[in-house]
Amino acid sequence: MFTLEVKKLSKVVAFVLLAASTTYAGDVKAPAFKDKAIDGGVVYKVKDGSYAGVYRVNTQVDKATVKFGRTPSAKEIKAGDIDVRYDWQGLPDGKGSVERGDELFEAQCAMCHGDMGTGGRGYPPLAGGDIDSLKNQLIHPENGDEPPMRAIGSYWPYASTLWWYVKTAMPFPHPMSLSDDDVYAIVAYLLSVNEVQIDGKDLDDDFVLDKKALMKVVMPNVNGFYPEVNGKDGAMNMKKFLSDSSNYGTPTKRCMKNCPTGKVVRVKNSLDSGIEPAVSQKRDLPKVEAKSGAANSKYADMFEQKCNACHGNKVIAPVPGDKEAWASRIKQGKEVLYEHAIKGFQGMPPKGGHADLSDAELKGLVDYMVDKSK
């Protein structure tokens, strides 16, 4: 009986030993925290005239102070200082109503971002979802998993960023074209469709957003980010976080034998067919394509620069060469198309938003598009 027990026990021990025989090559040597770079990595120094032991350097450079250029004027600095920091540094005065923002959005934004910023045309949605959705992990769509929604109201921590980005990067085809008042109006509209409140109240149509009101906005997801970078210890917080790689799943040991593995998961729905040009390893001569007359027009470049952002995407505007889309338009006659191009029509702002283009250039562009689409 006793012997049998021991035999059993030794079998169990042997099994445990076998299962536990995962072996590691040991910790990979890391610098001490105080010697690490702010990103948790290595700081390389110049020693004996060599940087990191691999690049020779001219050490005279360190002793010299080189001075070129000049001091810019206050006016020059101010003209380029277009950012708005999260503490509102840089926010100019101005005002605009939700209603005015709605009009501007319909005219200049909705063609890409969808009605009320709901997206749907490949461009980012600007509204939708809530903070709770941020916990979603889309692992098993077949089981009904939903993705997290990262729109302005559900994700962005600061409204300052919204003002800054609309002012300096939108509308996409012609940024830096909106007045400060128009930016306030669009921001008011976007806050309203994202159901962001000011002083505990929804922003209704006649609400007028100004600097004072905007500076009161606390975005719903303001506390949704880490590490804390805003205080005086911000940079040190980053160093601590990045130096502890368990924060992001990076190990510090090399498993060498009997390491944990998993199942083999293969490509199910390949995206390869959407690649342009198709991936190929053939070493043959390229096919020569016939040049079309229209493509050589001097308006081809201008189209690329000024029109293609919208007219290159058929869900926004008719694409040159799409004969079906253009047939009914060509039928209206060129004078009508010239007028639409110059004065604006439906989603298209006057001159496509490019006030720098002459009427003659607009007509040339219309001719170019029509020629390509006949």
For other proteins, which stretch binds (CB under 8 A), given 121-129, 191-199, 320-328, 335-343? 121-129
Distance CA 69, CA 57 (A): 25
Please give the backbone phi and psi of residue 282, each rounded to the nearest 5 degrees, phi first.
-70, 135
d(CA 351, CA 345): 10
d(CA 150, CA 163): 18
Judged by CB under 8 A, the residue of 34, 75, 283, 298 near other proteins is 283
By the rule CB under 8 A, 150 interacts with other proteins:
yes
**CA 221 – CA 19 distance, rounded (Å):** 46
Q: In the window 88-107, what residues touch other proteins (CB under 8 A)?
A: 89
Please give the Cα distance from 184 to 213 (Å, whole number). Answer: 10
Q: Quick one: which of 95, 99, 118, 148 contacts other proteins (CB under 8 A)?
A: 148
**Which of the residues 25 through 84 are near other proteins (CB under 8 A)?**
27-31, 36-44, 52, 54-55, 57-58, 61, 64-72, 76-77, 80-83
Q: Is 118 a binder of other proteins (CB under 8 A)?
A: no
Find the shortest distance in angstroms from Cβ 265 to other proteins.
Answer: 4
Verify binding: residue 143, other proteins, rule CB under 8 A. no
CA 254 vs CA 25, 257, 261: distances in Å: 5, 10, 14
> How many of the chain's residues bind other proteins (CB under 8 A)?
125
Q: Does 291 bind other proteins (CB under 8 A)?
A: no
Instruction: Give the footprint of other proteins on residues 161-180 (CB under 8 A).
Output: 161, 164-165, 168-169, 172, 175-176
- 263 interacts with other proteins by CB under 8 A: yes
Q: Which is nearer to other proteins, 280 or 328 (CB)?
A: 280
The answer to the question of residue 360 lying near other proteins (CB under 8 A) is no
Query: Residue 282 interacts with other proteins (CB under 8 A)?
Result: yes
Q: At closest approach, how far in Å is the CB of 131 from other proteins?
A: 7
Residue 42: DSSP 8-state: B
Binding residue (CB under 8 A) for other proteins from 275, 296, 298, 324: 275
Nearer to other proteins, 159 or 341 (CB): 159
Q: Are 160 and 91 in contact (CB under 8 A)?
A: yes
Sheet holding 50-51: strands in order across? 46-47, 50-51, 55-56
Q: Cβ 287 to other proteins, closest distance in Å? A: 9
Is 160 a binder of other proteins (CB under 8 A)? Answer: yes
Which two tokens mark 230? Answer: 């805003």
Q: How far is the CB of 335 from other proteins (least distance, A)?
A: 30
Q: How far is the CB of 311 from other proteins (least distance, A)?
A: 10
Residues 319-358 touching other proteins, rule: CB under 8 A, are: none
Q: Taking CB under 8 A as the rule, does residue 303 contact other proteins?
A: no
135 binds other proteins (CB under 8 A): yes
Segment holding 12, helix H or strand E = helix 2-19
The radius of gyration of the chain's CA atoms, rounded to the nearest angstrom, is 30
Burial letters for 31-56: b for 16+ Cβ neighbours within 10 Å, e otherwise?
eeeeebeeebeeeeeeeeeeeeeeee
Residues 217-236 that bind other proteins (CB under 8 A): 224-227, 229-230, 232, 234-235
6 binds other proteins (CB under 8 A): no
Residue 348, helix vs strand vs coil:
strand
**Residue 52: φ, ψ to 5°:** 60, 15
Check: CB of residue 190 under 8 Å from CB of residue 152. yes
Q: Which of 274, 293, 346, 360 binds other proteins (CB under 8 A)?
A: 274
Q: Are 369 and 360 in contact (CB under 8 A)?
A: no
